Amino acid sequence: MSSSLTPEQWRPLARAHAQRVDQLTAGRRRRRALGHRHPVEDFLFEYYNHRPAQLRRWHPGPGVVLVDAAGQHGTWVGYLTDSAGSAWVDVEGVSARRSSTIGFVQGLLRATLARDPHLGCFGLHEWAMVYRLEQGQRRHEQLPLRLGQDETDAVVERHQVRCSHYDAYRFFTGAAAPRNHLRPTRETQTELEQPGCLHAGMDVYKWCFKLGPLVPSDLTLAAFELALEIRELDMAASPYDVSAYGIAAVPVETAVGKADYLARQRDFANRSNALRSRLIEVLSALPR
């Protein structure tokens, strides 16, 4: 069953979405024009390879006919139009083309949602990515290490590293990889993903935009906003000094820092699970 939105109904929704995206991405767009970089925020655009202009596009999701939208939405991939000028998501066509991705994402989200969050990693994946590196080898060379290289290495050695996320683990240094309690691979992703993982929380945004326009933009934007918060903690708890970017350190090498990290991690796990549930509901309603 479908519903229709008149221009007076859908245009304000599209405009409000674009304005919110513009607010959230203003820094990225300004830096881009100047050739400047931001080691915290840029991750969501460069690693995930989704531009602000793409995020800015408003998608109503399946089953919504937009009256007088053929001139805009009708020019986008994944939409159908009629002679009256209406546009709507080609649910059957997009679902058929993306069926393997939809199936994988559903399975991954359900498996993740079924697990209790593991809350004892303390963000040590970022520490493991610089473990025993020489000057000039780090990903973020423009950022100093808060504790210096020797003490950074010592923090890794004093803790058990338990990273369950393959796309974080694959960036561990050669010396750090054997210290990880798990050996995540792409093939075991569904078996190991768990909701306490910061990177799994950010990935909810990735799954939303990768399956657009099947996913309503309000859900994608909610996932993006959560990913922004998670990424800030990811770097605040890292060995890097990000104070120059207005971000206070979460010193996970201390008891106080650990408690702070755990509280935020628990909150992110709950919020990412809520978004996972919403995304599963959207995907479950698609034709098979």
Q: Count how many domains the chain has.
A: 1
Beta-carbon contacts of 100 under 8 Å, excluding residues fewer than 6 positions away, are none
- Pairing outcome for strands 79-81 and 64-66: unpaired
Note the residue count of the chain.
Answer: 288
pLDDT tens digits along 14-54: 999 999 999 999 999 999 899 888 888 899 999 999 999 99
* 149 part of a folded domain: no
Beta-carbon contacts of 136 under 8 Å, excluding residues fewer than 6 positions away, are none
CB 272 within 8 A of CB 233: no
H or E element in which residue 257 lies: helix 255-284
Q: Which residue has the tokens 């909701």?
A: 195
Query: Which range (1-5, 57-61, 114-118, 233-237) has the least confidence?
Result: 1-5
User: Cα–Cα distances in Å, from 215 out to 61, 67, 177, 210, 211?
Assistant: 5, 19, 36, 9, 6
β-pair partners for 161 = 180
CA-based nearest residue to 281, from 191, 216, 227, 197: 216
* 45 part of a folded domain: yes
User: What is the arithmetic mean of pLDDT over 213-218?
Assistant: 98
Write down the mean pLDDT value for the chain. Answer: 95
* 235 part of a folded domain: yes
Residue 220's pLDDT band (cuts 50, 70, 90): very high
* 31 part of a folded domain: yes
* 182 part of a folded domain: no
The distance of Cα 129 from the centroid of its chain, to the nearest Å, equals 19
* 166 part of a folded domain: no
1 has a pLDDT exceeding 60: no
Q: What's the token pair of residue 62?
A: 């399946």
In what order do the strands lie in the sheet containing 64-66? 3-5, 64-66, 87-89, 79-81
* Domain span at 241: 3-117+191-284
pLDDT tens digits along 175-194: 999 999 999 999 999 999 99
- The model's pTM: 0.95
CA-based nearest residue to 60, from 79, 42, 46: 79
User: Cα–Cα distances in Å, from 280 out to 189, 215, 277?
Assistant: 17, 10, 5
User: What is the arithmetic mean of pLDDT over 150-176?
Assistant: 97
* 180 part of a folded domain: no
Q: Crossing angle of helices 217-236/198-210, nearest 10°?
A: 150
CA-based nearest residue to 140, from 245, 251, 226: 245
Q: Which amino acid is at 4?
A: S
* 122 part of a folded domain: no
